[in-house]
């Protein structure tokens, strides 16, 4: 290897390595959250897998450990302040710190406000938006004591524009972006960066569930979802790479940003 090649490799490691860092990812049992957890672990982070689905959370953790990484699965309903506190306490007891928090848990119910029940509204807002608040409230004090950290909230293209038959989801994801900005302002002085990734349609069980809710043909639904400049739907890895960027030293002067990762859908 040439001297220049070694310098390039060393620089890449400096910018992207998460070695020695501790991450928490919600909604990490499947879909985008699982992709994020696997990516962060691959880059060296110990990853706490938070999800209401304890069985699948264990499967994600087992996959990380089989690849040589470190992980702990934790059953956590992000709507519950007690669950959030318990999850954070468990990670602190085991690792002593939390460097990265990715708030990915979310629920999509495809209804307009006339058809949407109050319970459905509460479910979407509580999981998708309130969950960010509850878990961040527990994590931020530990980040302050540790000298900083990175929080990445998962929004949506519909954080920035409206969408059909998705009133509660649009409200929750729109709130996630502005909550991100407020947190970035409040905690910049603590060396805590807070950013938001806004995905377009990503090939996950949640997207398939949306198709079923709307009663549409899956093939036609996916063709429409791919109708964007890059002519495909996203993958969990597409979103995970953006989260890695925002968690890593590459984004050391970025906070309060909403990074759109949607194949050009909003262009």
- Alpha-carbon distance of 152 to 258, in angstroms, equals 10
Nearest Cα to Cα of residue 22 among 50, 52, 2 = 50
The torsion of the CA quartet 64, 80, 32, 148, rounded to 10 degrees, works out to -70
Catalytic residue among 40, 72, 99, 169: 169
| Tally of residues, the chain | 267
- Alpha-carbon distance of 81 to 16, in angstroms, equals 32
Annotation says 133 is catalytic: no
Instruction: Report residue 127: phi and psi, to 5°.
Output: -70, -50
* Catalytic annotation, residues: 169
């Amino acid at each position: 290897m040439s001297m220049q090649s070694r310098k390039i490799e060393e620089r890449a490691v400096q910018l992207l390595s998460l070695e020695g860092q501790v991450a928490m990812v919600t909604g990490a049992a499947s879909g985008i959250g699982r992709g994020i957890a696997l990516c962060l672990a691959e880059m060296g982070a110990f990853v706490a897998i938070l999800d209401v689905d304890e069985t699948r959370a264990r499967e994600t953790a087992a996959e990380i450990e089989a690849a040589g990484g470190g992980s702990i699965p934790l059953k956590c309903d992000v709507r519950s302040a007690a669950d959030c506190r318990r999850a954070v306490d468990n990670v602190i007891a085991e690792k002593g710190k939390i460097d990265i928090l990715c708030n990915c848990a979310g629920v999509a119910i495809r209804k307009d406000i006339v058809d949407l029940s109050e319970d459905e509204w509460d479910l979407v807002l509580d999981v998708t938006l309130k969950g960010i608040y509850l878990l961040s409230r527990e994590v931020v004090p530990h980040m302050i004591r540790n000298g900083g950290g990175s929080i990445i909230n998962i929004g949506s293209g519909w954080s920035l524009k409206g969408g059909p038959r998705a009133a509660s989801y649009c409200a929750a994801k729109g709130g996630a972006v502005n909550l991100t900005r407020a947190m970035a302002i409040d905690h910049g002085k603590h060396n805590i960066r807070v950013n938001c990734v806004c995905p377009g349609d990503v090939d996950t069980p949640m997207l398939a569930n949306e198709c079923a809710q709307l009663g549409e043909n899956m093939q036609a639904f996916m063709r429409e979802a791919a109708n964007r400049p890059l002519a495909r739907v996203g993958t969990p890895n597409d979103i995970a790479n953006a989260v890695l960027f925002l968690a890593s030293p590459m984004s050391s002067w970025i906070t309060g940003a909403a990074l759109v990762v949607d194949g050009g859908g909003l262009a």
